[in-house]
């Protein structure tokens, strides 16, 4: 039972890690996009 638990836990940790990495990538892309929008607003106004 303990082995199954550790396998499951390791799997969940790696899945969570991948999820957070994806989330971070999305956040970086979004913030870059937001920055571009702000630059356009300030430059062209």
Question: In whole angstroms, what separates CA 8 from the centre of its chain?
Answer: 22
| pLDDT < 50 positions in the chain | none
Whole-angstrom distance, CA of residue 14 vs CA of residue 18 = 6
Q: What is the pLDDT of residue 23?
A: 92
Which secondary structure element, helix H or strand E, spans residue 1, and what is its range? none
Q: What is the pLDDT of residue 9?
A: 72
Angle at 12 between CA 9 and CA 15, to 5 degrees: 150
Sequence ranges of the domains in the chain? 1-44
Does the global pTM surpass 0.75?
no
DSSP structural state of residue 6:
H
Whole-angstrom distance, CA of residue 5 vs CA of residue 39 = 50
Q: What is the pLDDT of residue 35?
A: 93
């Amino acid at each position: 039972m303990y082995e199954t638990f550790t396998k499951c836990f390791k799997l969940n940790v790696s899945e969570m890690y991948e999820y957070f990495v994806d989330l971070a990538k999305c956040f970086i892309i979004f913030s870059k996009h937001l920055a571009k929008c702000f630059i356009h607003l300030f430059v062209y106004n």
